[in-house]
Amino acid sequence: MPLAGAAVALFHGFTSGPHSVAPWAQALADAGARVEVPLLPGHGTRWEDLESVSAEDLRAAARRTVDELLRDHEDVAVAGHSMGGALALDAAAHRPVTAAVVVNPALRFASPLAPLAPALKHLVRSVAPIADDLVRPGVSEHAYPRTPVAAVAQLGRIQAAARRGLPRIDSPVLAFASRTDHVVPARSITALGQGLSPGLLTVRPLYNSFHVATLDWDAPLIHEESVRFIAGLLGSRAHRAVQGPRA
């Protein structure tokens, strides 16, 4: 098995849950990895429960998952979709991970109103969700039926923290980017490329999926290339530690 001995911390998206990345998690596990997909704070219950969750709560939950895996595994990769991608990148900036794999990572907002959420939350409690952005029919990510505006404000803080941390990442990053995404703008991938050190980022375009590509037609491609990418880096973290910092 190409990922035998490795571990992956895999994070789901905003207002969604582990269901949205379950096939991806299974593919990594089938390749031999130990995979942890935590239910992030404020998710999997009622949308009202997400209102009181802070960016720090979500970032800490992601890091705890990585820390638990690092206690038992030399090679730990982080992965995630949308907000989960931002959390994976944030963790990679602060933990010694072997690789990061992200699908349509949410480093920027598409909506021009989203950055105003810190003020708008006092006027509007919730808005209609932007969920199930898929080409494939009959599939759902099971996101909340409403999106709390206070949580959008916290998502903005996660995005800002993830962008600030990009220069700290020293592990290779594979990013899958849907050519048509109605939730996360193309400038999110641009921000990723601008923030990372040269040579660390590989971008794989997806032509047959919208935002929730982990459940869309390109999911098998994500599974196959994720396994190949992580497998090709096993042992590299230890090698980099021996060789010292990059020039």
What's the pLDDT at 120? 84
Q: What is the mean pLDDT of the chain?
A: 94
Mean pLDDT value of segment 123-148? 95
pTM exceeds 0.75 for this model: yes
In the set 16, 20, 82, 188, the catalytic residue is: 82
**What are 187-244's pLDDT values in tens digits?**
999 999 999 999 999 999 999 999 999 999 999 999 999 999 999 999 887 645 543 3
**What are 63-97's pLDDT values in tens digits?**
999 999 999 999 999 999 999 999 999 999 999 99
CATH number at residue 77: 3.40.50.1820
Start-to-end CA span in the chain (Å): 33
Tokens representing 51 are: 């209102």
Contact at 8 Å (CB) between 153 and 121?
yes
* Residue 142 domain boundaries: 7-243
Contact at 8 Å (CB) between 155 and 83?
yes
Residue 177 falls inside a structural domain: yes
pLDDT at 169 over 90: yes
What's the pLDDT at 130? 84
Rg of the chain taking only CA atoms, in angstroms = 17
Tokens representing 20 are: 């949205």
In the set 12, 81, 211, 223, the catalytic residue is: 211
Q: Which of 178, 173, 175, 174 is nearest to 217 (CA)?
A: 178
pLDDT at 245 over 50: no
Residue 2 falls inside a structural domain: no
What's the pLDDT at 246? 35
Distance CA 150, CA 202 (A): 33
Residue 202 falls inside a structural domain: yes
Residue 14 annotated as part of some ligand binding site: yes
Residue 133 falls inside a structural domain: yes
Q: Is 211 a known active-site residue?
A: yes
What's the pLDDT at 102? 99
Distance CA 60, CA 56 (A): 6
pLDDT at 247 over 90: no
What's the pLDDT at 244? 37
Residue 31 falls inside a structural domain: yes
Distance CA 155, CA 74 (A): 30
What's the pLDDT at 243? 37
Residue 1 falls inside a structural domain: no
Q: Is 82 a known active-site residue?
A: yes
Distance CA 37, CA 24 (A): 10
Tokens representing 14 are: 């905003």
Domain count, the chain: 1
Residue 83 annotated as part of some ligand binding site: yes
Contact at 8 Å (CB) between 99 and 233?
yes
Contact at 8 Å (CB) between 13 and 82?
yes
pLDDT above 70 covers a percentage of the chain that reads: 96
In the set 181, 209, 216, 218, the catalytic residue is: 181
Residue 114 falls inside a structural domain: yes
Distance CA 95, CA 105 (A): 19
Mean pLDDT value of segment 15-21? 97
Q: Is 182 a known active-site residue?
A: no
